[in-house]
Structure 1
Amino acid sequence: MATKVNNIRLTQTKQSFIDSFLRLVSLKDFEKITIVDITKGAKVNRATFYAHFNDKYELLDYIMGDSASAAIVKHTEGEIKFDQEGITQLVLSVFDFYQQPNIQCRSSYIGMVVPQLKEKIINELKVHLSNALGDIYPDHGKSFYVPIIAQMIHEGVYQWVTGNNTINQQEVAERISSLVLRGLQS
């Protein structure tokens, strides 16, 4: 029972750091956010912060990684079939990932955050695509196709998110999934 209580407390403490950091992100530049600022907002001491994270960069990394995983699980319930619907749901999860309010930030963060966002979501896509391609391709085939497919999905969404959107997300997701599936069938 003590382990469960301890895990809940750890989860609540991490969440308080995340909440504090996200409040600060909307108010000041990343470079000016200090551990003292984060711990003051979380109402927790600095030693506790360092028991969870090495620095604010690790906290940011944790937030983004958790968000990437959560976006995919939300759309796929953790299981992906390598078919039109499965790939469409993966694409929609990337849309959700980029549009989550908790990772939107001041323009001063864009240069630092966008590469990390891309890395996090592509890594999560690779994990889920590897599982989805499990029995379809041998390991050497998966190691070739998975990174390419992950990049295709990401790039298609990223182009929509950063450009002029003339078609809706569902249609983009269906087009990307068709492109992926047709490419593998040829």
Structure 2
Amino acid sequence: MGTKVRNIRMTQTKQSLINAFVNLVNEKDFEKITVADLTKGAQVNRATFYAHFNDKYELLDYIVDESASAVIENRTLGVVKFDKERIHELVLAVCDYHQQPNIQCRRSYLSLIPQLKDKMLVELKNYLSKSFDAIYTDEEKSFYVPIYANIILEAGYLWASGASSLDKETVAKKIATFILGDSSRVILQG
């Protein structure tokens, strides 16, 4: 079998497993989902599942990792720059990321939050580190990157969790201004 055909089948199988996971996590808690549930939902056998993933945690890791980088890529349009527009888009990316898992089972979503936040934090740090290349030394980057990444992550998460009554555009604008400054004072109220 040709490499191209094998790659297409692998991609289709992974997508089937991802779809099965998303459907299942809407019905029951993540901890109660089994590999048997996933293979049944994807209509593949166990050996096929294990050819792609070691366990359901690796599948979840794959899904979360792919979506974190994709949402940043979509929001920034691939432009890596440290400016208000990009900070604004990074906050919106975090908002989108936490809205993305359409998980009706609230306990399941709550159990996934630490993993979701960890993956997004890694992606934010990667983006910011690249955007700082022409601005800061390595020592300065190691100081500023985690600070800015955590501010952006927490702002988007607080909005997504309903802890803020502000709309996400306003949150993003205020955080971009907070990080990069402005001649007018930043007030975190509507």
Establish whether TM, by shorter chain, passes 0.5. yes
How many residues align? The count is 182
Match of 1:141 in 2: 140
Match of 2:51 in 1: 51
**1:67: Cα distance to partner?**
1.0
Q: Name the CA distance, whole Å, in 2 between partners of 1:163 and 1:177.
A: 20
Moved more, 108-117 or 87-96: 108-117
Write out aligned runs for 1:28-47 (5 A): 28-47=28-47
Question: Against the structure 1 CA distance between its residues 3 and 79, is the aligned structure 2 distance closer, same or farther, given a 3 Å change threshold?
Answer: farther
**1:162: Cα distance to partner?**
2.0
CA RMSD of aligned residues (A): 1.7
**1:139: Cα distance to partner?**
1.1
**1:169: Cα distance to partner?**
1.0
Greater than 4 Å deviation, 4+ residue runs? none
What runs of 5+ residues in structure 1 fail to find an aligned partner?
none
Secondary structure of 1:26's partner?
helix
* TM-score of the pair, normalised by structure 1: 0.91
More helix by share: 1
Match of 1:14 in 2: 14
1:76-106 Cα deviation digits (max 9, x unpaired): 122221011011111111110010144x341
* TM-score of the pair, normalised by structure 2: 0.89
Match of 2:77 in 1: 77
Counting aligned pairs with the same residue, the percent is 55
What runs of 5+ residues in structure 2 fail to find an aligned partner?
183-190
The one-letter code of the counterpart of 1:179 is F
Match of 2:153 in 1: 154
1:64 aligns with 2:64: yes
Write out aligned runs for 1:145-184 (5 A): 145-182=144-181
